[in-house]
Amino acid sequence: MSLCARIQPRVDLLKQVLEPEVELIESQCDAKEMALEWVVEEGVPEISCDVGLLRIAFSNLLRNAIKYGREQGIIRIRLALEGNSVEIVVWNQGPGFPDSERTNLFHKFTRLDDPDLKKEKGTGIGLYSTWRIMQLHRGRVRAQSKQGEWAEFILTLPVGEQEPLPREAED
């Protein structure tokens, strides 16, 4: 996948990335009777980023939270400043994933070998794309879970002016 980041200065993550994507999926949350909770901490600065790519990364996490989340469950979105980074966290109630599978989450075309997760259709490309987008932003994505209860995905982005990493050849 060949990606190129077009970094813009002074992006308000809440207004330009998170809220527009949540608006697009609200009907899917309603269909599964899921509650959407926001935790937006004060003092989160504007950052330099590619708005379009970050919306894709966040949307991938949000759509997975709905797809794999428990009906009538909770999805929690958190935006916070952690040291010299901004974190966007998507947490959901649901089957989670086994700790032994965590290292496979972000591999291209990989789906976890778990019957609860394989019930849902998927390509195995969304989390890989999210991982690539975070690389281009000099950030990272990580995940944690308590199998059978919840899953959480965290996007971490550096604060300050960022130059995008050079465009890389397709994998």
- Which segments of the chain have a pLDDT < 50? 1, 117-118, 169-171
Q: What is the pTM of this model?
A: 0.86
CATH architecture of 8-158: 2-Layer Sandwich (3.30)
Q: Tens of pLDDT along 44-70?
A: 999 999 999 999 999 999 999 999 999
Contact between 50 and 137 under an 8 Å Cβ cutoff? The reply is: yes
Indicate if the alpha-carbon torsion angle 86, 40, 144, 33 is positive or negative. negative
Domain chopping of the chain, boundaries: 8-158
